[in-house]
Structure 1
Amino acid sequence: MAATEDHDAAAALVVFHESRAGVRGLVESGVTAVPTIFLTGAAPWPQSPVTAAFAIPAVDLSLPRSDAAALVRAAAHSCGFFHVTNYGVPAGVVGSAVSAARAFH
């Protein structure tokens, strides 16, 4: 990217953040295409290399509390998120929550 393009992308990102409208505001404004600032390579910061092998850490809550806590700590430290299993919430409740999230988005 040229210096002018870097400046334009950075300026567009600042305007987006300052609007505080977020992605929902973009949708409500009637945009019909993804704004350039959201496209790969359009950001004014260096892109990270793609890692070929990545596994989402899993935390089994049926394990003893100290073991589960150690898994949470390790997952939060390594990548910042994790998949929780055996948490005791009925599948129907989870399905309803997923359906509500999909309907919202």
Structure 2
Amino acid sequence: MRNFGRALLVAGAVLFVAAAYSVIQARHALRHSGGHLDDFILPVNVIFAAVAGAALCLVGGLKAAGGFQRIRVPEEIQCWDRLHERFNFRLYSTRAACLAALVQNFVTPPPA
């Protein structure tokens, strides 16, 4: 099933490239016929190819990823204070006190 999804993704990407190439050809033909680019309107086949390519990429991405799956909630509910805490990376005031003198000597204050 994943190969089918990947094939749909590739087909959608090919449709996007074909739509872009069609726009380039239409602009080139308009330029050589003496028309202005302000008068350029997207051809209908480009719009259909872009919409079909987007749909194929969407379906192919879902098929290749395995579809929608439930999000599991962890059993232990963590409090807000410990949610982003990293136990092996704790800062203490002693580190800042040791570096404060160096920082004040080498960093110039911004002009007022």
What is the TM-score with the length of structure 2 in the denominator?
0.22
Between structure 1 and structure 2, the one with the greater Rg is 2
Q: Higher strand proportion, which one?
A: 1
> Using CA pairs below 8 Å that are at least 6 residues apart, which structure has the higher relative contact order?
2
Q: Which has the higher helix share?
A: 2
What is the TM-score with the length of structure 1 in the denominator? 0.23
